[in-house]
Structure 1
Amino acid sequence: MTGVRALRASAKITLCTTHRVLCQLRHDPMSLGMTLAVPALLVVLVRFILPTQDAFQRSAPALLGLFPLVLVFTLASISTLRERSAGVLERLMLMAPRKVDLYFGYSLAYALIALPSTALTIWISVDRLGLRVRGPLWPLGLAALASALFGLGLGLLAGAFARSEMQAMQYVPVLILPQALLCGLFAPRHAMSRPLETFSGFMPLSYAVDSLNASARAAGPDDTYVRNVAILVGSALVTVVLGALAQRRTL
């Protein structure tokens, strides 16, 4: 009975935090609009930059994971930093029995924002820009959403350490750019030198790109796809927990 009570209390704190964050974002239409629309606009820009449809077909699946990841990372890191700087997050943690419940609430709120952003980007890519997907769309969408969730976890972790918005943005070249360079977007991972290929195997974004490329080319998800998505979701959960542990309760 005690365990059930504790579980209900954790769920209540998580859902209340989610509701509060969504209400705050509703009053910040610029940030909300950028998170929803910018990934889709960037994919449109890439289509017109690339010289042929075949070049877009090769690059677009990976970009469906990279662009939402970067935007959600930015929103999560800066929003968390603002609440921490204002003392809101610390006061909430003094009242919450577990810090991770609050961070799961933040995660759920930003995930609900990432969902329509990912869906819009995929719809424009497939229906308007001619991206060919051999199988159903849901594996592509699930892999892109898992990539965005990983970016969300990284953003919450960066927001726990950054002391200013400028410092939060300085985590982009540290946490995201190396993964973007080694994930297989610019060159196949198997064509890299052995040290770089091994290093890329420790980067969750590599599994996002593999899943997205496989979703566009295969008739349906296989065991490798399931493993890659599980690695992404697990990495997101780990970064969220690390962000909660890094946040101090003291005001």
Structure 2
Amino acid sequence: MRLTLLVSRRFFKFILRDKRLLILMLFVPVLLALVIGYGFGGEINHVDVEIVNLDDTAITDPYTNATISFSETIISWLDQNTSKVDIQVVDASSALDWNDTKQRVLDKEAAGAIFFPSAFTVNLALSFIPGSNQSTYIETFIDNSNPQVGGAIVQALREAFEETLGDHAGIQIMNNFAYGEDLTQLQYMAPSILPFAVFFLSSLLSIITLINERKTGTLDRLLLSPYHKINIILGYILSLSVVALVQSSILLTFVIFVFNVSIVGGIGSYFAVYFMLLLTSWSAMGLGILLSTLAKTELQAVQFVPIVTFPSLLLSGILWPLETLPVWLRPISYLIPLTYSANYLRTVMIEGAGFLVLSWDVLALILFAVFMIILSGFTLKHKE
């Protein structure tokens, strides 16, 4: 019992002497609690939706003599009574305008579109007559690459029907999808979980490697050599990149062949996935090397891992869309590399965009990796 108390007292003395470690131990739980509290449980709002209304008919209310257009009533409700969607009514005159609107959804200029056909109001009014077989329809065209965003559009439309028309079966909703038709939860999550796994493993491995190299004295000998520090860092990144490619191959093999997650597109899409996972690993390695240079002890370095990984998991759009985050918190998301990795891989794996070498996601990751490497060059020093 005495030995147990002595070991425990020695440990607490060690923590109290290491002020940086003590601050990290107290700061990390507070940070995680704040991120979870503000980042979790939000609702998707203000989804951009375009409406094409070709309904050119109206009816007269026999009790009030007011002219009623059911399509205008539904559109007005969507505009004034829900925050889920932000609607824009297209100046349309024919079905060609509907085709143009669908193309804008395909081009990611809108998250969805709603189409009211000609004579919508009259056909719906005829369906109210007892014994009538008349019916009408509303057509939607939704970008379902993010099912939660697509679901918000459908839910807003159903709420509009219930509030304006009540429980009426005379309307058929014809849902069509630009991307992500029949998308399962696993297929949606895979493009974001893959880069997170690579990011976590690469950052952890780079931290452990640098700590071990410094502990054995190898890093200090390299820093005393005539080689530039950036060259030393790039040497570590090159060797760790081989490990990252092996890990990526293992992850992809399990995702594709064990869990039956498909990648839309040809061989270019597979190259694109590898390309993005490699860029993600470089970003993680640069960050891991930087954190290992800032830590004075092994325990301090390990404490940095949850500070990096948990906000990356919760604020990068991996678990829930960025649209659910508070507006003031979203700028932080755009400082996290995984935000760009997940977005790029969803574009490739779900939408079949192919090998996109030039994109904002690629540029953001390259800039982040270069910045981390340069910053590591300034902070990497040998022990006196």
Q: Same fold (TM over 0.5)?
A: yes
Out of 211, 214, 218, the position equivalent to 2:351 is: 218
Matching residue of 1:140: 273
1:101-120 correspondence to structure 2 within 5 Å: 101-120=231-250
In 1, Cα distance between equivalents of 2:316 and 2:367: 18
1:198 Cα deviation after fit: 2.0
The answer to whether 1:168 aligns with 2:298 is: no
Matching residue of 2:318: 185
1:70 Cα deviation after fit: 0.7
More strand, by proportion: 2
The answer to whether 1:232 aligns with 2:365 is: yes
In 1, Cα distance between equivalents of 2:196 and 2:358: 17
Q: Do the aligned partners of residues 222 and 196 (structure 1) sit closer, same or farther apart at CA in structure 2, a change above 3 Å counting?
A: farther
In 1, Cα distance between equivalents of 2:184 and 2:274: 21
1:97 Cα deviation after fit: 3.5
In 1, Cα distance between equivalents of 2:357 and 2:234: 27
1:62 Cα deviation after fit: 0.4
1:244 Cα deviation after fit: 2.1
Count of residue correspondences: 200
1:115 Cα deviation after fit: 0.8
**Partner of 2:317: helix, strand, or coil?**
coil
Amino acid at match of 1:152: M
The answer to whether 1:72 aligns with 2:202 is: yes
TM-score of the aligned structures, taking structure 1 as reference length: 0.73
Q: Which has the larger radius of gyration?
A: 2
Structure 2 gap ranges (5+): 1-182
Matching residue of 2:286: 153
Matching residue of 1:61: 191
**Partner of 2:335: helix, strand, or coil?**
coil
Contact conserved, 2:348 with 2:355, CA < 8 A, in 1? no
**Partner of 2:361: helix, strand, or coil?**
helix
Structure 1 gap ranges (5+): 1-52
TM-score of the aligned structures, taking structure 2 as reference length: 0.49
Contact conserved, 1:93 with 1:249, CA < 8 A, in 2? yes
Percent identity of equivalent pairs: 24
Out of 257, 260, 268, the position equivalent to 1:127 is: 257
Contact conserved, 1:161 with 1:246, CA < 8 A, in 2? yes
Contact conserved, 1:65 with 1:145, CA < 8 A, in 2? no
In 2, Cα distance between equivalents of 1:219 and 1:57: 13
Contact conserved, 1:139 with 1:220, CA < 8 A, in 2? no
1:139-189 Cα offsets, whole Å, 9 max, x none, are 122112211221111111111122232221111122222121100011101
Contact conserved, 2:272 with 2:355, CA < 8 A, in 1? no
More helix, by proportion: 1
